[in-house]
């Protein structure tokens, strides 16, 4: 077991003259979890995409069992036992779960596809993972968290020797994270090498054996997890120390002016939800995956159909039946699924950033003022520290974190007074997270009202002035001040009603 199974030697890769990787050499040992840590654009995903065959390196080689390769095709990577769970899902939305798992490798009885056997094996796989997903459900019917678990199952089915996980816990609840960690530990015992990318530093101390810190496409240092600290990792990662993670809460800044009031909101998922959002506050929506958090804001925003409910914006009743009407009413939504709902990935960064404001950027009726557009885009590139080669590049060319920043820029350009942030820091590194937290706090101080959804308990506790907790589509209670703690949130999220 001391033999090094996988190495990368002097790997370099550039995109349009920008170095994504610079002379990176790393070894990965059998039966270990080797974490890659770094800010967005540090080169972590690029390195893993090279290992999976999705990207060809400019220089360097990959070594497996002392055999050198200059590059892999995706098929060759799979033949070498390399499987990757991507940060962005690689599933066919219109197909069922079992069809996605067996896509291209269907089980047949002679020439007839054996659906029954594929469904049986899918159920067996999910039983091993200790999750309950219907094999016959279509992917577009599943939550983001369940899509992630299907991605994990798809790779597990291949009996890989090397598993690459790019932000695998980002959309998962604490319970689902525990399931994932159990699976990872079982794979370790079988000698599988796990390459693990995560911005959640706390979980690396629980799951990893070694951590390699990367910055600006370079390997900075590899450390044994038990011999380092969070402060040291942050310093190596960002090249500086960070102050307190969350801005201080100042409840005295919250007025009792109601920006948004929702009365008796019901959809096919949530029932009889009522709340108020005050000027200058961050209201958290807490609860487990499937509790209906995203469905509440999507219904208010007009993206999901309402069965009942009345919405008031600044005291005036608004009949919001579509996102356009929500935007006209001064509401913005940063969605949970940036890939499918937040961006046009094949379109330019320029178009994505200015799309919502395009009407106000016109000099004449149908002519966009490039001067105004450039001013808008450059302003947010600077404010949000967005890393890109050119604004004409496709949004898909950006890292996940920088894609999220483009989504933020798009909605902030509307200057909406009410903003819904659904998993705003998913897939974003610790340095950029702090920037997002400060941005949200500045918006709050400026008198905006924010509703925040996050699967990270520390974010909800650290950022929110009040927390409305849901359980299976029902409103369980509202916590504020000293009541906001993990124990109280989990108690309500598990179904106990807040009598206070």
DSSP string, 178-189: HHHHHHHHHHHH
CA-atom Rg of the chain in angstroms: 23
pLDDT for 208: 96
What 3-state class would DSSP assign to 261? strand
* pLDDT, averaged across the chain: 86
Give the model confidence (pLDDT) of 457-484 as tens digits: 888 989 999 999 998 899 999 999 889 9
Position 5 confidence tier, pLDDT thresholds 50, 70, 90: confident
Contact 25, 214 (CB under 8 A): no
pLDDT for 239: 73
Please report which helix (H) or strand (E) contains residue 298, including its range: helix 293-300
| Most confident stretch, 97-106, 238-247, 369-378 | 97-106
Q: Which two tokens stand for residue 272?
A: 């009889």
pLDDT for 308: 95
Residue 492 burial (CB count, 10 A): 23
Separation of CA 103 from chain center:
25
Position 2 confidence tier, pLDDT thresholds 50, 70, 90: very low
Position 260 confidence tier, pLDDT thresholds 50, 70, 90: very high
Strand partners, 480: 466
Contacting residues for 391 by C-beta, under 8 A, at least 6 apart: 348, 349, 350, 353, 377, 381
Average pLDDT over residues 42-61: 91
In terms of pLDDT, which residue wins out, 382 or 253? 382
In terms of pLDDT, which residue wins out, 89 or 30? 30
CA gap 165, 183 in Å, rounded: 12
- Percent of the chain residues topping a pLDDT of 70: 94
- Percent of the chain residues topping a pLDDT of 90: 43
Residue closest to 443 by CA, chosen among 253, 252, 243, 242:
253
Q: Out of 31-40, 155-164, 345-354, 418-427, pick the least confident.
A: 345-354
Contacting residues for 359 by C-beta, under 8 A, at least 6 apart: none
Average pLDDT over residues 147-167: 87
pLDDT beyond 60 at 358: yes
Contact 74, 155 (CB under 8 A): no
pLDDT beyond 90 at 16: no
Please report which helix (H) or strand (E) contains residue 75, including its range: helix 74-79
Please give the DSSP secondary-structure letter assigned to residue 290: T
Average pLDDT over residues 77-96: 86
pLDDT beyond 90 at 109: no
**pTM for this structure?**
0.62
Phi (first) and psi of residue 344, to 5 degrees: -100, 95
| Most confident stretch, 200-209, 230-239, 268-277 | 268-277
What 3-state class would DSSP assign to 35? strand
Separation of CA 115 from chain center:
33
Length of the chain: 500
Residue closest to 135 by CA, chosen among 106, 87, 125:
125
Contact 3, 66 (CB under 8 A): no
- Residue with tokens 């399931």, as numbered in its chain: 179
Residue closest to 275 by CA, chosen among 441, 458, 455, 470:
470
Position 236 confidence tier, pLDDT thresholds 50, 70, 90: confident
Q: Which two tokens stand for residue 410?
A: 């798009």
pLDDT beyond 60 at 151: yes
pLDDT for 221: 95
pLDDT for 1: 43
CA gap 236, 259 in Å, rounded: 42
Q: Out of 188-192, 216-220, 372-376, 410-414, pick the least confident.
A: 372-376
Please give the DSSP secondary-structure letter assigned to residue 27: E
State the burial class of residue 158 (Cβ atoms within 10 Å of its Cβ: 0-12, 13-18, 19+): middle
């Amino acid at each position: 077991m001391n033999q090094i199974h996988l190495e990368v030697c002097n790997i370099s890769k550039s995109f349009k003259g920008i170095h994504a990787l610079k002379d990176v050499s790393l070894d990965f040992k059998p039966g270990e979890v080797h974490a890659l840590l770094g800010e967005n654009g540090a080169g972590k995903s690029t390195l893993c995409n090279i290992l999976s065959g999705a990207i060809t390196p400019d220089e360097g080689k990959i070594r497996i069992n002392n055999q050198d390769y200059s590059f892999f095709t995706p098929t060759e990577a799979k033949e070498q036992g390399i499987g990757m769970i991507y940060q962005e899902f690689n599933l066919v939305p219109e197909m069922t779960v079992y069809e996605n798992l067996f896509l291209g490798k269907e089980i047949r009885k002679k020439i007839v596809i054996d659906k029954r056997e594929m469904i049986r094996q899918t159920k067996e796989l999910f039983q091993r993972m200790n999750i309950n997903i219907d094999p016959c459900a279509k992917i577009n019917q599943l939550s983001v968290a369940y899509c992630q678990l299907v991605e994990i199952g798809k790779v597990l089915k291949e009996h890989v020797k090397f598993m690459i996980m790019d932000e695998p816990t980002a959309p998962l609840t604490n319970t689902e994270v525990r399931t994932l960690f159990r699976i990872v530990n079982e794979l370790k015992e079988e000698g599988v090498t796990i390459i693990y990318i995560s911005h959640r530093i706390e979980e690396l101390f629980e799951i990893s054996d070694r951590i390699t810190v990367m910055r600006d496409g370079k390997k900075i240092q590899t450390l044994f997890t038990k011999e380092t600290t969070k402060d040291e990792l942050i310093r190596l990662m960002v090249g500086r120390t960070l102050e307190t993670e969350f801005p201080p809460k100042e409840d005295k800044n919250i007025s009792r002016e109601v920006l948004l009031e929702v009365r008796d909101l019901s959809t096919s998922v949530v029932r009889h939800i009522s709340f108020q959002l005050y000027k200058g506050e961050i209201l958290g929506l807490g609860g487990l995956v499937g509790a209906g958090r995203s469905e509440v804001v999507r219904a208010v925003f007009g993206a999901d159909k309402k069965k009942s409910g009345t919405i008031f914006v600044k005291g005036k009743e608004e009949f919001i039946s579509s996102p356009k009407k929500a935007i006209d009413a001064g509401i913005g939504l940063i969605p949970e699924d940036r890939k499918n709902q937040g961006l046009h990935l094949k379109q330019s960064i320029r178009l994505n950033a200015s799309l919502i404001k395009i009407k106000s950027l016109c000099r004449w009726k149908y002519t966009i003022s490039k001067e105004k557009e450039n001013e808008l885009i450059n302003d947010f590139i600077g404010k949000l520290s967005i890393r890109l080669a050119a604004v004409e590049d496709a949004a898909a060319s950006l890292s996940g974190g920088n894609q999220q920043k483009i989504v933020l820029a798009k909605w902030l350009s509307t200057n909406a007074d009410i903003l819904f942030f659904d998993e705003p820091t998913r897939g974003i590194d610790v340095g950029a997270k702090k920037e997002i937290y400060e941005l949200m706090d500045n918006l709050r101080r400026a008198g905006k009202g924010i509703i925040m959804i996050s699967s990270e308990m520390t974010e909800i506790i650290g950022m929110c002035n009040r927390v409305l907790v849901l359980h299976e589509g029902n409103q369980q209670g509202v916590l504020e001040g000293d009541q906001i703690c993990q124990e109280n949130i989990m108690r309500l999220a598990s179904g106990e009603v807040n009598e206070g």
